A and B are shown apart, each in its own frame.
Chain A
């Protein structure tokens, strides 16, 4: 298994500011992902956090808005930049260890006012 922690668990931010969310895993993993869950909606994959290289973004998500770092195999950050109320969501990191082992963090609930 993998134990994932995220910081902060929740935050309320003003529009125009940025927030960096941290994801820490208790063991090394190759694949880490970031998902967004807008209010009342399902989860959408934002990007794959690649260790040592630029993240791979899904359609509709760009690096300028959601810069991602992955300095090592246990840690990643997602920044939500220049926030607007539409960015109010739960952001979840996920790790995949192959062989059908997938785990999710507890999520960061972001409210933008």
Chain B
């Protein structure tokens, strides 16, 4: 079963704009991860945030985590056409066993 919801399901923006995706989950987590998938290909790991962290940055990516609301957001700043992909959040199903439960995903289109 899916852990949570992501919104929006689809997002279309112009190059240079920022893109924000949200993820909610249902159970306690050890960590939350964000992945990118291009055109149904393999997953690329973007960033991991631990349950005791509130914010994390990696290049143009900023992830926040609010465990009280069981939600996370991924911000991509200064988007590029190459950022066009599907983005998924994933949480550890239980206490750090590596079994991930994925959100529904957000499809991002960045127009040049």
A interface residue numbers (CB < 8 A to B): 31, 33, 37, 41-45, 48, 59, 90, 92, 94, 96, 98, 100, 102-107, 109
Contact = CB atoms under 8 A, between A and B. Distances in A.
A42 B100 contact: no
B45 A42 contact: no
A2 B101 CA distance: 21
Contacts of B101: 45
Nearest to A48: B99
A64 B22 CA distance: 37
Given A42-B88, A42-B103, A59-B1, A103 B45 contact: yes
A100 B47 CA distance: 10
Contacts of B2: 42, 44
Chain A interface mostly helix, strand, loop or mixed? Answer: strand
User: Most chain-A Cβ atoms within 10 A of its Cβ — which of B50, B98, B105?
Assistant: B98
Nearest to A37: B40
Interface size class for chain B? 20 to 34
B41 A102 contact: no
Given A42-B2, A43-B88, A90 B100 contact: no
Contact of B45 (A33, A102, A105, A106): A102
Contacts of A92: 42-43
Given A43-B88, A103-B45, A90 B40 contact: yes
A94 B102 CA distance: 13
A31 B102 contact: no
Given A42-B103, A45-B93, A100 B42 contact: no
A104 B43 contact: yes
Given A31-B97, A103-B45, A43 B40 contact: no
Contact of B41 (A41, A45, A98, A106): A106
A43 B17 CA distance: 28
B84 interface: no
